[in-house]
Each structure stands twice: as structure tokens, then as C-alpha cells.
Structure 1
Amino acid sequence: MKTLKMIFLVALFGLLLLGNKSFAQDDKSYLVTVTKLHWNMNLKNFSMDEWIKTEKEYLDKVTKKNPLIVGQEVLLHNFTADNTEILLVTTYAKWEDIEKAGDKDEELIKAAWPDEKARKAYFEKRNEYYAHNHSDEIYATIPGGKIPKSNFDKDMIYYVRVSHFTYPKEGTDKEYKDLTKQYFDAVINKNDLIKAYYPNRHAWGADNTQFTEVFLVDSLADLDAALNKNRDLFKTAWPDEAKRKEFNEKLGKYYDGTHADYIYKSVHELVK
């Protein structure tokens, strides 16, 4: 299983969870909050167009005007265990900005809807789309990666792979970084079907061993083709079978061999 796993993924070498052109030339480390929301399944006469219109109003009037929010995206369930989930992914420059951004949002909300009744009506309408429960995780970014030059002008497929680190006594930070860079340069960066690649490490949440990678492709068909092309590029870079096995064993010791897979679809109209 570890050998197959390493064919399909490159480890912790890259930048942020989800894409935004703001990071393309930036080697800073960022924090990414992921809020998992859920649809209100009791809402009648649901309209996806109306939901996007409602959220875009908030995006334009608040999120895009908040300088503490570096970037934001919305992802919808495609192939996951819960068809009600919606991911709100927000990127910040530093820890303090996460709290400060909330205060700035409140200021912008009052400026956008100065009439209290109008403000209440808008948020009642907006809140109807969602169930009351949600959960939050925070990830830390690592400089590098395969970053697009601009935001995408269409909905993209996001293949999310969640693996788990081990901390081998015989391992070193230098070896790990060297191995992941080799794989990234030889495989991910040469795979034209992978439009972007974003790996992240856990910063705050339920599991400190969690390692999350996101691969962006144009379609589900391209996802399958991209994974197959990763395998081919891997064999091209390490044509000798013994060398491939040696590489996999070296890098594989940094993971526990388990992973989970999720597929989401972005809403390109709701991107900062």
C-alpha cells in the first residue's frame, strides 16, 4: 500500500490548502481555516443560483473589502461521505488576523447594510441555507508548490487526500525535504493535468498528524488520467525498479500508510 501511495502523491513540499493567485510569487507561510458547513435539508424551493447570488453579495460587500482576509473559496460535496457538506476555506497571513478579521467583518457588515431591518432580512435569508452545526480546522502552509498564475474562471475538481505522519527516529528533516522535492520536480510539476497542487500540515484541530494535499484538475476524467500520469512520470524518473522501491521505502517511512480521499467541486463565482 505504501508503494502505491507514493506513486500517487508528493509529500510536504508546497503551498497552502487551496488556490489563489495572491500566493503565486510568495514564500511566506499562511494559515488556512476550513469551516465545514452543512446544507439545511429542510429548506424548500432551494435554488443554487439564488444561493450563489446571496453569497456573492456578502463576498463583494464584506470579504473582498476585508484586507485581513488574503483569500477565500467555497467547495461543495462531489464524492465524500456527507452530501450536505460545504467547505469555506479562508486564508490569513498570521494568527492575530483570524480574530481581527471577524471584527473587521462586523464593521463592513454595518457599512454595507446600514439599515438594521435590511441587515436582519439579508442575514435571515442567508442563514436559511445552512444547518446550525459546523466544525473548524486550521492548517499551516509551506512555501513552494504548484501554484496557478490566476484564479480559475470555471468550477474545478478538488481531489483532497488526507494522510498521517509518523516520526521515525532514523528520519531527518533534510532527508524528508530532499525526497519530497525530488518527487515534486519529477512528477507533480511535470504533470500538465494537475493544474495546481497544495499540501498543508495541521496547525489546530483534532489530529496533529494530519497531512492534507489538494490536487486541482479540470474534470473527474482528468483526475483518473492525472493519477495514471503520475505513475508513468514516476517510472520515467526512476526507471530502475530497485531504485523506485528504495525511494518509496525512504519516503514511506514518514507516513503510517493510511489515508482518506475526498472530492469537492469549487464555486468559481465565490472566490476572493
Structure 2
Amino acid sequence: MKTTSQLISAIAMMLLLCFTTTVLAQEEEQKGSQYITVTTLHWNMDYEDFDMDTWKAVEKEYLDKVTAKNDHVMGSSFYLHQMTPDNRELVYVRVYGSWDAIEKAGSRDSELEKEGWPDEEERKAFMKKRNAYYSNFHSDEIYVTLPLVKPLEDVSKDLICYVRTSHMDFPEDGKTDEIKMLMNENFEKLIKNNPLIKAYYSHRHAWGKDATEMIEAFFLDSMTDLDKLFEGLPALIEESWPDEEERKARWKTLNSYFTGVHGDAVFKFVAGLSK
């Protein structure tokens, strides 16, 4: 039986959604951009009092007193390592309605922290307890959201989040109408009504180390469903584009908008710690 990693490697190129910078600029101008900050944290492996339930309770208290009340933050969520190169990783994501909101949210956080813990000593003690779970090292990236979304409706349970990082290429003969059509067809036929995919989000680089990055996040109930997704994908593609020659030509065109280099990771969405 194929493992999840083998399945991902075998058919990874068949799951791309395509975006050129021209299409993105047009879509963002029409819909208005949203920005995502992605902070990759690392557990403090030397913390002797580490307890997952206590960590969740501490972050839930911060969520209730600060993040949930911050009007500049549209959404937030935590993701724990499942299949990534570093088992110490956890990812904290925040969503903003504008670039300006990112800076405003930071200032508002500070105000709400003082309101949530008005006694300075208690506030310092809480922040020390919270920060004790993390090492000093972390990294930050900012992404801009892309227009095709299948929103997560139920945040009451933990979910598997498969994250695919692709790298965009810019062919000289690329056409805006062509790639926009491919983008919409892929979403409609492979993602939107697929019962295994509970939610789907995509975003591209806005600020960070790699300007070619495009990220796709697929939410599923379990690792078993992730296996099923990849196992069923070839048949779904053939059903959606039954003519073999047309299908091959289509995917060749689609893949020309990407370098062919990609990365895969699997995280666990933490229920109860999202706005």
C-alpha cells in the first residue's frame, strides 16, 4: 500500500492551481486584498513543566482576552507539526483586511493585554508563562490571499491541514485569460465539491524570503482522508477531462506556469484556538 508521502510525490504536479501576477493583481483590485502573517514558532524543548492541555488553556486565555477582541484581526489559528522537517515546529496564522491593519493590530494587542491583565505583575507572570512554551527562535512571512476559497465551516474539531508550497514561473507566452480559465476549472472540478476537502485556502508571497512562493492549504478530517484524496485524484481528473490528448495538453500548459519545485507538509489544526 502506498504511503501518503509516496502518493504526494507520484501525483503532486496534478494538483496545482495557477496564478500569474497579472491575474492576481486584477483579482485583488476587484475584491480587495487580505493579508496573512505566518509565524513559525518552536517548542522550548528544555521546558520541564510542558503540558499540552495547559498550553492550550494559556493560549485560549490570550485568545479570549486579546485576539478575539482585536478588531484589526479577522482570524487566527494554530497548527501543530504532523509531517514536517522539524518536530519542534508549530505555526501561528493571523488574517488581516489590509496591510495597514497588521501594524494597527500589534498596537491594539498591547492595549488589550493591559486591559485583560490590569495588574502589571499578573500580566508579566502570564506572559512569562506563555512565552516559556516557546524557544527564542521564530520566523515570519506575510502572504496575500488569492480569490478562490472554500471556507472552513466547522472549527469545533481538530483537522489535518495539508500545505503545499509551489513556486511560480512566468512563461513569455503566458496569457491572462488562459490561466484564469484553468484556475477556475481546477477549483470547480477538483476542489469545490470534493467531500474530502473540508476547506481550501490559497495565498502568495507578499513579504519574505521567496517571491515565487504560492501556498495552498487543504483541510481534511484525517490522514486517511488525505490518502483517499490522492488515490482518487487521477480518476477525478480523467472524469473531469475525459479526452486524453486534451487532458495532457491542458496539464502541460498548466505546469508551464510553475517551476516544478514544490514542498509538502502536514499540520494539525487546533480546535478551540481559532478566531
Output the TM-score relative to the length of structure 1: 0.91
The residue that corresponds to 2:244 in the other structure is 241
**Alpha-carbon displacement from aligned partner over 1:170-211 (angstroms, at most 9, x marks no partner):** 002221111111111111123110111111111110000001
Q: In 2, distance between residues paired with 1:50 and 1:5?
A: 38
The residue that corresponds to 1:83 in the other structure is 87
Q: Is the 8 A contact 1:10 1:180 kept in 2?
A: yes
SS of corresponding position for 1:82? coil
Q: Which one-letter code corresponds to 2:257 in the other structure?
A: Y
SS of corresponding position for 1:214? strand
Q: In 2, distance between residues paired with 1:222 and 1:4?
A: 16
The residue that corresponds to 1:164 in the other structure is 167
Q: In 1, distance between residues paired with 2:127 and 2:150?
A: 37
Q: In 1, distance between residues paired with 2:9 and 2:79?
A: 29
Q: Is the 8 A contact 1:2 1:248 kept in 2?
A: no
Q: Is the 8 A contact 1:10 1:188 kept in 2?
A: no
- C-alpha displacement at 1:7, in angstroms? 2.2
Number of aligned positions between the proteins = 259
Q: Which one-letter code corresponds to 1:11 in the other structure?
A: C
**Alpha-carbon displacement from aligned partner over 1:86-136 (angstroms, at most 9, x marks no partner):** 111000001111011111011111011111111111111111100001100
The residue that corresponds to 1:192 in the other structure is 195
**RMSD (Å), alpha carbons:** 1.9
Q: In 1, distance between residues paired with 2:198 and 2:32?
A: 21
The residue that corresponds to 1:20 in the other structure is none
Q: Which one-letter code corresponds to 2:51 in the other structure?
A: S
Q: Is the 8 A contact 1:8 1:231 kept in 2?
A: no
Q: List structure 1 segments (4+ residues) > 4 angstroms apart after TM superposition.
A: none
Q: Which one-letter code corresponds to 2:263 in the other structure?
A: A
Q: In 1, distance between residues paired with 2:129 and 2:187?
A: 45
The residue that corresponds to 1:104 in the other structure is 108
- C-alpha displacement at 1:12, in angstroms? 4.1
Q: State whether structure 2 residue 187 is matched by structure 1 residue 180.
A: no
- C-alpha displacement at 1:241, in angstroms? 1.4
SS of corresponding position for 1:249? helix
Q: Is the 8 A contact 2:148 2:202 kept in 1?
A: no
SS of corresponding position for 1:131? coil
**Alpha-carbon displacement from aligned partner over 1:133-179 (angstroms, at most 9, x marks no partner):** 1100011012232223x342101100000010000000022211111
- C-alpha displacement at 1:10, in angstroms? 2.9
Q: In 1, distance between residues paired with 2:209 and 2:19?
A: 19
- C-alpha displacement at 1:85, in angstroms? 0.7
Q: Which one-letter code corresponds to 2:262 in the other structure?
A: H
Q: Which one-letter code corresponds to 2:230 in the other structure?
A: L
Match of 2:129 among 109, 120, 125: 125
Q: In 2, distance between residues paired with 1:269 and 1:90?
A: 15
Q: State whether structure 2 residue 269 is matched by structure 1 residue 262.
A: no
Output the TM-score relative to the length of structure 2: 0.90
Q: State whether structure 2 residue 16 is matched by structure 1 residue 9.
A: yes
Q: State whether structure 2 residue 71 is matched by structure 1 residue 67.
A: yes
Match of 2:35 among 31, 40, 44: 31
- C-alpha displacement at 1:8, in angstroms? 2.7
SS of corresponding position for 2:248? helix
Match of 1:141 among 142, 145, 161: 145
Q: Identify unmatched segments of 5+ residues in structure 2.
A: 1-7, 21-29
Q: Identify unmatched segments of 5+ residues in structure 1.
A: 14-25
Percent of matched pairs sharing the same residue: 46
- C-alpha displacement at 1:3, in angstroms? 9.4
Q: In 2, distance between residues paired with 1:3 and 1:180?
A: 22
